[in-house]
Amino acid sequence: GKMNKDAQMRATINQKLIETGERERLKELLRAKLIECGWKDQLKAHCKDVIKEKGLEHVTVDDLVAEITPKGRALVPDSVKKELLQRIRTFLAQHASL
């Protein structure tokens, strides 16, 4: 079905991104952008709040991950998401033989 085709396409693209080293570059770009826009600091602050709220001895790493992951996604600025998507589109255009 369609779902399978999408998954296959994603796997192919991912493979291509890894092989060409573009995936690492994208990760570096994302990391730099997130530091630049204060994302890391916001998340650190959120972690501290969660720990304060629950008490250090009651918080597990899993708790933190569960709390932080959706928050982290939500806090990524649209401009950063757009830039990454643009990079991937450009990459795909250059490797159109996919």
Query: The domain that contains 33 carries what CATH number?
Result: 1.10.246.140
**What is the pTM for the complete model shown?**
0.74
DSSP letters, the chain, are -HHHHHHHHHHHHHHHHHHHTHHHHHHHHHHHHHHHTTHHHHHHHHHHHHHHHH-GGG--HHHHHHHHHHHHHHHS-HHHHHHHHHHHHHHHHHTTT-
pLDDT digits (tens, 9 = 90+) for 42-91: 999 999 999 999 999 999 999 899 999 999 999 999 999 999 999 999 99
Q: How many domains does the chain have?
A: 1
Domain that holds residue 62: 2-95
